[in-house]
């Protein structure tokens, strides 16, 4: 990790405070995305609970067929939305 930071410092001419600001921003950004996606999953479960409690739908199908595709799709929409504020 330190070798990557050293190469980044040399390539971009970044100082110690610059790297600290970038690291802090990225940590906060990814934490917020994680929280927002978690909230989206909770709301989606709340909306679709009637479909999920049917006996013909297994937990495996809910998690690996539905939410494995739901989370990346939500992530793409969220990042597009957040990047539109630039």
Is 0.85 surpassed by the pTM of this model? no
Please name the residues in contact with 52: beta carbons below 8 A apart, sequence gap of 6 or more. Answer: 45, 62
Residue with tokens 């390539």: 11
Residue 6 has pLDDT above 80, yes or no: no
Give per-residue pLDDT as tens, 35-72: 989 999 999 889 988 888 888 888 888 888 888 888 88
Sketch the domain layout of the chain as residue ranges: 2-83
Tokens representing residue 37 in the block: 């996606």
How far apart, in whole angstroms, are the C-alpha atoms of residue 29 and residue 38?
A: 14
What is the DSSP code (8-state) at residue 57? S
pLDDT of 39: 93
Tokens representing residue 62 in the block: 């809910």
Of the candidates 74, 81, 64, the residue with the CA atom closest to the CA atom of residue 34 = 74
The confidence band for 1, taking pLDDT boundaries of 50, 70 and 90, is low
């Amino acid at each position: 990790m330190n070798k990557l930071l050293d190469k980044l410092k040399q390539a971009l001419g970044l100082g110690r405070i610059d790297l600290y600001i970038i690291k802090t921003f990225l940590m906060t950004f990814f934490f917020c995305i994680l929280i927002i996606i978690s909230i989206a999953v909770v709301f989606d479960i709340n909306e679709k609970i009637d479909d999920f409690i049917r006996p013909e739908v297994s937990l495996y199908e809910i998690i690996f067929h539905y939410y494995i595709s739901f989370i990346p799709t939500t992530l793409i929409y969220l990042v597009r939305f957040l990047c539109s504020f630039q």
